[in-house]
Structure 1
């Protein structure tokens, strides 16, 4: 059991460090949100690993609260992602993609007419 716990802990630490590096580099708000959500998941996994190793169940409310905070945070950022500036390379909505395609097609049709 100790070997498995140590291996899991090392993997969780590595994932946490990589998530923090990704959150620092970005480049967009959505990338940072995903990285911080992953870090919250790693933190939840670490607490669950400690609870399993020490055979305790009193940390379950902490796990539930951290899960809810991570979920609500991700949903909140995703909801306001449409307000992110174009320079930050945000994910476009379906309506924006359709509008850009219509503009591109009309420009191509005008060029063909000339």
Structure 2
């Protein structure tokens, strides 16, 4: 059976997330990561996924606020919601730019 490249399969997403978690677990130098940045540009979905127009409606997001918002799920103070994917995505993007996994291999 051919894998459709334009389709996200839940099982594949889970495999990728598990692979990233396994790499994070292999990091010997730290069990936490400091925010060396906080604010980031946020673009509305309509503009983010329309590459033929320049974004006009930019807002600011905060990594620290995103993390505090997500911690409420971990603390049992609220249920998880779809919007949490946006919040975790901003944190994952921050970790990706920090190249923590690549640095651990050097």
TM-score with structure 1 setting the length: 0.25
**More strand per residue: 1 or 2?**
2
**More helix per residue: 1 or 2?**
1
